[in-house]
Amino acid sequence: MRNIQAVFTKQVISYAKNPGRWGAPVTFLIIPFVFMMISPDINRALITIQFVIMFVGMSMVMGAAAVIMEDRATQNLRFMAMAGVKPHQYLIATCGVLLIVSFVALVLFGMISGHSGVIMKNFLIVTMLGATCSMLLGITLGLSKLAPFAWIVGILLGIGPVLAVDFGVDALTRAVSATYTYQIIVALRGNITELPDVTSLYELAAMYNLTDLGDLRAFQRDLRVPRDLAVLPVAAVRIMLINAAVILAAFVAINIRTRLDGKKL
């Protein structure tokens, strides 16, 4: 337990001193807020989802891997290994720090989206599960000496699911449907109302009783409304738990016969 506490304290200090670590979460939080300031009629819940995915899928994977890269560069991994710190102790302590950062950021994302009560709780369950997967993946890649590969993985996890959903690319959807980031989008957006089959604005106005420009803007804003999160999306949660289990198994397989610095036991 002392090893975990020592590593946790060290990572908190390191995180606070490094603007590059907390700069990405702050940036992903500021951008949707700026969008809402520029366009007050924008769908807050919908615009936030893209940045939640970028934060969870990109920032957390690359951020976790960056922790390992820094500890390798400063020889901290070697010193901790010599002090008897085990890979699982390092994983628990480092994930603990990153989970706190993720929780604070995701609560703010939920507030920007206008969530509260049960909906906020379910939002946090889904997104924190995704953040946990990203942390495990980043640390696993880092300890396996594949930390630079985390940049590619992070970009694919952040961009791929968004493109698959927004542009309806079937091949891309099949490729990313089993990923936890895609399941976050499925859980947060749910079934999206499609534009009705009409041939003119007059027909659209008659169908939805649109009498002025304000009605049209309201219709456009509400056209793609995320599903109510009052009910926890169990199917998406199940797939994310499977993702976490697979990544954790990879971590165990990589580190079961090595010390924290990669030396064989």
Q: Are 219 and 265 in contact (CB under 8 A)?
A: no
Contact status, residue 119 vs residue 109, Cβ threshold 8 Å: no
Mean pLDDT confidence for 12-31: 79
Position 32 pLDDT exceeds 80: yes
The one-letter code for the residue type at 220 is Q
List the single range of 58-62, 82-86, 142-146, 225-229 with lowest mean pLDDT.
Answer: 225-229
Q: pLDDT tens digit string along 108-146?
A: 999 888 888 888 999 999 999 999 999 999 988 888 877
Q: What is the pLDDT of residues 164-199, one digit of tens each?
A: 877 777 888 888 889 999 999 888 876 544 455 666
Distance CA 35, CA 48 (A): 10
The residue among 221, 181, 219, 160 whose CA lies nearest residue 55 is 181
Q: Determine the Cα–Cα distance for residues 246 and 96; give it in Å rounded to an integer.
A: 20
**Residue 261 confidence (pLDDT):** 65
| List of residues 6+ apart from 120 with CB closer than 8 A | 107, 110
CA distance 197 to 204: 9
**Range name among 51-55, 77-81, 85-89, 165-169 with the lowest pLDDT average:** 165-169
Higher confidence at residue 216 or residue 194? 216
d(CA 265, CA 259): 6
For residue 209, pLDDT over 70 is answered with yes
